[in-house]
Structure 1
Amino acid sequence: MNKSVFFLLAFFLTLPLFAQDVTFGLRGGPSFTTLGGDDGSVGAKFRVGFHIGGFASFAISESLSFESGLQYANKGANGSDGGVSAVVRNGYLDLPLLLNYRFGERFYGLAGVQPSFLVSPAIVLEENGNKVTVNGKDVADLYKGFDFAGVIGFGVELNAGLHVQTTYEHGVSNISEIADTAYNRGFKLTVGKSF
């Protein structure tokens, strides 16, 4: 792990020490992901996946809080080449480490980092109506087990602890073992409930 990643993680992981109040919750929704980079983005199109998990929010002041959580997120891309279509359908455990800044009563912005760990790689290949799913150990050697992304987004607080938010994730670490530059990219549309 390089020094800048280490210092970012250390910064975000020590923020809860300054928290005044803690809130827990659940959230989930659809994800719209693709692959970016010179090698990874060739023919890659967005695909619809999902994410689901829990979070904890640590209030630092009236308008600023630190938020972390654990989510299962389905990522990847759609593509085709020479009559063969392929769907990359990788499952990750995301650990978002975010600062949440409130604007007024209901609106807020999010920014931070997100380490992710590959837990279920899969590729679905289709040619002339014949589908084959390759997953687990058969495809795991194509991908690195760790991803790291920057995250930015905004949201709105509703009534009864409900909120809706959207975030953009920009992967900065190469996820491929065979391509020089292949990065996860994507948007999450999230509905959450605080308790």
Structure 2
Amino acid sequence: MKRLFIIVLGLTAGSLSFKATAQTTQATANDQMRFGIKAGATLTNIGKYSFLGQEYSTDHKAGFQAGIYADLPMGGGFAFLPEATFTQKGFKLKETVGETTGEINSTLNYLDIPVLIGYRPSPEFTLFAGPQASFLLSQKTVVKANGNEVTSTTDTDNLRKSVAGGVIGVGYSITPNININGRYMMDFQSAAKEDQNQDKAKNRGFALTLGYTF
């Protein structure tokens, strides 16, 4: 019985020591300037879209996001978290009028530059928010009628080349190096130029990424 008590005591002490070491490692990592890479998926739409004199609600479109980030501690649990990411946005729209079903599938590729401030209520969790500038890289829009392609364009003349927006989200560090990050993104300006009568067509949606911090 005495030997069993000693074994249990040893295992308990070892477990507590391991947990304390892990927490110390995590806390130390959070006090250092660090950099990382990330990649994941997006799910976005543009809200309302005007087409042929009618206004439609757009459906979500899946996309891709990948980029780099920095983690710069500011003290008091706060951190400066700038990023540069390639982000796919866009929308889908499908409507049936009479015997004709029309579809629009649009993909817009941006370089997003979020300038975020984060707060860590614990070493593992990070709450963050801040403004974001998005720079248009390319786009492709395909229009179909009854499943047949009518037209396809990569022209960007009618789109804003830069758009202001914002980001809010939460991150969780699985280990000091590996993290997951979920966010909601929304542009404050229309994706289209002012003369296109698309004031409500603003990129918005979610991104979920897996990151590695060096």
Q: Which TM-score tier does this pair reach, normalised by the shorter chain?
A: 0.7 to 0.9
| Residue 194 (str. 1) matches residue 213 (str. 2) | yes
1:149-164 equivalences under 5 Å are 149-164=165-180
Of 110, 117, 120, which aligns to 1:102? 120
CA deviations over 1:33-89 (Å, ceiling 9, x no partner): 011257497230111111001111111115111111111100011102341211110
- Where structure 1 has 5 or more consecutive residues not aligned to the other structure, the ranges are 1-19
Of 6, 28, 33, which aligns to 2:39? 28
- Please report the TM-score for the alignment, with normalisation by the length of structure 1: 0.82
Instruction: Name the amino acid aligned to 1:126.
Output: K
| Residue 185 (str. 1) matches residue 204 (str. 2) | yes
Secondary structure, aligned partner of 1:121: strand
**Equivalent pairs, count:** 174
* Residue matched to 1:168: 184
Please tell me whether the aligned partners of residues 165 and 187 of structure 2 are also in contact (alpha carbons under 8 angstroms): yes
- Where structure 2 has 5 or more consecutive residues not aligned to the other structure, the ranges are 1-30
Separation in structure 2 between the aligned mates of residue 123 and residue 149 of structure 1, nearest angstrom? 22
Please tell me whether the aligned partners of residues 151 and 167 of structure 1 are also in contact (alpha carbons under 8 angstroms): yes
Higher helix share: 2
CA deviations over 1:93-137 (Å, ceiling 9, x no partner): 00011011101121110100110000011102222332367343x
* Residue matched to 1:86: 104
Instruction: Name the amino acid aligned to 1:153.
Output: G
Instruction: Name the amino acid aligned to 1:64.
Output: F
Separation in structure 2 between the aligned mates of residue 160 and residue 105 of structure 1, nearest angstrom? 9
Secondary structure, aligned partner of 2:192: coil
With over 3 angstroms needed to count, the CA separation of the structure-2 counterparts of 1:95 and 1:81, relative to structure 1, is same
Separation in structure 1 between the aligned mates of residue 175 and residue 75 of structure 2, nearest angstrom? 21
Bigger radius of gyration among the two: 2
* Residue matched to 2:74: 60
- Please report the TM-score for the alignment, with normalisation by the length of structure 2: 0.75
Secondary structure, aligned partner of 1:140: coil
Deviates more, 1:27-36 or 1:56-65: 56-65
**Offset at residue 160 of structure 1 (A):** 4.4
Instruction: Name the amino acid aligned to 1:26.
Output: I
Give percent identity, aligned residues only.
29
Deviates more, 1:77-86 or 1:114-123: 77-86
Secondary structure, aligned partner of 1:95: strand
| Residue 73 (str. 1) matches residue 87 (str. 2) | yes
Deviates more, 1:67-76 or 1:126-135: 126-135
Separation in structure 2 between the aligned mates of residue 103 and residue 133 of structure 1, nearest angstrom? 51
